[in-house]
Structure 1
Amino acid sequence: MTAQHFDRRDPRLDRSRSAILSAAVALLSEGGVRQVTIDAVTARSGVARSTLYRHFPTSAELLAAAFQELLPPLRLPDPDASPRDRLLQLVLAQADQIDQAPTVAAVVWLSTLGLSGVPSGADDQSRLTALREHIIERYRGPFEAVLADCLPPSGRDIDVAAAQLVGPLMFNALITGRPSDREFCVRIVDDFLAGRDPMTA
């Protein structure tokens, strides 16, 4: 047999992995972390439990893959824009993502503080830690970079600042149902920056 023969990937593996991930992503979108169980994913995907474990040996690994499948990175702001405009661009991008999947967006931001409610051993904890770092890099990281330019060193609490900016978007999506349109995002950013260092203008 040729080397080319050994390099061929069984297309059934790709199909089963895709079906598993599609089911996990749907469950995550509909009900959050607790819905992404092995039983629920096998039932929805039609893939056998043994096949699922070939792709994802633990539920934490499956959950991590579902998050990474579902979460596109935030659009990065124009580096030549003012700090205020870059911050507004990030808030608008986050508002768009929350509007598309509010429950998942809430889970994402909770996950930057640590995933809970997922049974896990040492291996699972390391995977969840890697997932948390991935989420922070994709979602908190861009805010951290821009907020470093917007906040004076004495008041640079990135966690609080990010919560003040993203919290109203979450509240609209999950509680009031009010759209977080451009006008709303402008008000969030301008209220946030009011009274802060003038370099943000």
Structure 2
Amino acid sequence: MKSPTDPRRARSRGKLLDAAVDLLLAGGAAAVTVDAVTRVSGVARTTLYRNFPSTDSLIAEAFRRLLPTPEAPPSDAPIREQMIQLGTSMARMIQDAPLQQSMWGWLAMGRGAGNDDEVGELRRGVVDSYAAPLHTILSAAEADGTLIPGDRDLAVAQIAGPVVLARMIGLRPFTETDIEILVDDFLRSRLAADS
């Protein structure tokens, strides 16, 4: 068996992923089939299965390649401004990337229930792309006493959740004013008394 660092294996894996990404962009997750990926990549079916144990793992890895990350705001700005900038960046990323909706729908269908496979890595990657920058802002504000410590994952849901839901069910896109309202509502519940 070839080592994972074998250049031929890496090249084949790269071709398979390139093909899966192209198919995903062109036709969504349903377009990423074993037959289509092997045809577009020119790589044999057996090689595909040596690199990816399932079509779901291949699709998850293709989505991970396309996963955008929000822009982190400057850390010296006031907390409200940091959160508005980050929330606006998240909203743009959610609303302007049609593939995001496809990915959430695909993940919501319960694909690959394990956390130790490519689908689990994709789930963690999605969570981290939204949570990590907000956790950083909240940690600093809690440490300096600006915010009352609280559940940071709930904060992610409070800021990004409404934007994701609006996108998923087809409501109007969120504006910066909408993000300001979400942030102000959140801050009202978490600002320390002396801030």
Assess same fold via TM > 0.5. yes
The 5 Å alignment of 1:71-82 reads 71-82=67-78
Structure 2 residue 153 is the aligned partner of structure 1 residue 159 = yes
Distance 1:117 1:131, change over 3 A: closer
The TM-score normalised by the length of structure 1 is 0.68
Q: Distance in 1 between matches of 2:61 and 2:136?
A: 26
- Residues 157 and 26 from structure 1, CA distance in 2 versus in 1: closer, same or farther, beyond 3 angstroms? farther
**1:90 equivalent in alignment to 2:80:** no
Q: In structure 2, what is the equivalent of residue 5 of structure 1? A: none
1:65-92 deviation per Cα after TM superposition (whole angstroms, max 9, x unaligned):
2122111222112111111111112111
Structure 1 position 59, deviation (Å): 3.1
Counterpart Cα distance in 2 of 1:117 and 1:67: 13
Structure 1 residue runs of 5 or longer lacking an equivalent are 1-7
CA pair 110-40 structure 1, distance change in 2 beyond 3 A: closer
Cα distance in 1 for residues equivalent to 2:172 and 2:79: 27
Task: Tell me by how many angstroms 1:185 deviates.
Answer: 1.5
Specify which structure has the bigger relative contact order, considering alpha-carbon pairs within 8 angstroms and separated by 6 or more residues.
1
Q: 1:173 to 1:83 in 2, by over 3 A?
A: same
Change (3 A) 1:176 1:93: same
| 2:169 maps to which of 175, 185, 189 | 175
Q: Which of 129, 134, 137 is the matching residue for 2:128?
A: 137
- 2:122 is the alignment partner of 1:126: no
RMSD: 3.8
Q: What's the CA shift for 1:182?
A: 1.6
Whether 1:116 and 2:106 are equivalent positions in the alignment is no
1:1-201 equivalent positions in 2, closer than 5 A:
14=11, 17=13, 20-25=16-21, 31=28, 36-39=32-35, 41-42=37-38, 48-102=44-98, 104-105=100-101, 107=103, 116-118=110-112, 125-127=115-117, 128-148=119-139, 149=141, 151-153=147-149, 156-198=150-192
Inter-partner Cα distance in structure 2 for 1:199 and 1:106: 42
Identical columns (%): 36
Shift of 1:36: 4.8
Asked whether the equivalents of residues 72 and 86 of structure 2 are also in contact (C-alpha less than 8 Å), the reply is yes
Indicate conservation of the 8 Å contact 2:130/2:156, yes or no: no
SS of aligned partner of 2:166: helix
Number of equivalences:
184
Q: Quick one: structure 1 residues 184 and 19, their matched pair in 2 at CA, closer, same or farther if it must change by over 3 Å?
A: farther
